[in-house]
Amino acid sequence: MDVFFERKSVRKYLQDDVKEEDLNYILRAAMSAPTARNARCYSFIVVRDKETHKKIAEVHRAAQMILQAPLAILVVGDESKVFEGYLPQDCAAATQNILLAATLKGYGSVWCGVYSNDERSKALEKLFLLPSSVRAFSIVVIGKSADNSAPKNGWQPEKIKYEKWS
């Protein structure tokens, strides 16, 4: 499988659960992402509880697909551990690794943005009882895909410049 080109945002899921060994692979991939000065400021909250999924859907308008999915991972970053201001970059790299690892293991997934929406972040920080230095960054919803559409073709050669802008 060519994981980069197979990945797509999936918002329809089957009921099948995410296997524990696959979840561990996905989390290991997340923790293998690069972080500024190896600060590893991230943590991951695995959420299977349907009541919590409902609460997430209440505070995140664009995460309604979570109501059908078996699992979500909340990616968070600790401001007291991060190097300089690199929390969003560290957490974004981890989030992307989650998406790619999930694709590789045969799951659909979607990145639901939290950072830098203050209202969403605050609501999730409250819901998940995060310590005061820990920011909610993203929610990745994961499950067996019920979406047969083809991934988008992202190739746009005009986005590439060589040596200078013009």
| Coil, strand or helix at 58 | helix
Q: Which is nearer to ligand FMN, 110 or 124 (CB)?
A: 110
Least spacing, CB of residue 110 vs ligand FMN, in Å: 5
- Which residue is it, tokens 């989030």? 95
Could you give the dihedral angle defined by the CA atoms of residues 158, 163, 165 and 166, in that order, rounded to the nearest 10 degrees?
-90
Q: Which residue has the closest beta carbon to ligand FMN?
A: 113
Contact set with ligand FMN (CB under 6 A): 8-9, 11, 62-63, 110-113, 152
Q: Which is nearer to ligand FMN, 24 or 116 (CB)?
A: 116
Q: Please, what is the angle between helix 87-104 and helix 20-30, to 10°? A: 150
Q: Which is nearer to ligand FMN, 39 or 57 (CB)?
A: 57
Q: Which is nearer to ligand FMN, 11 or 105 (CB)?
A: 11
> Peptide bond before 132: cis, by omega within 30 degrees of 0?
no
Residue at 132: amino acid letter: S
Least spacing, CB of residue 152 vs ligand FMN, in Å: 5
Least spacing, CB of residue 63 vs ligand FMN, in Å: 6
Least spacing, CB of residue 114 vs ligand FMN, in Å: 8
How many other CB atoms are found less than 10 A from the CB of residue 88? 16
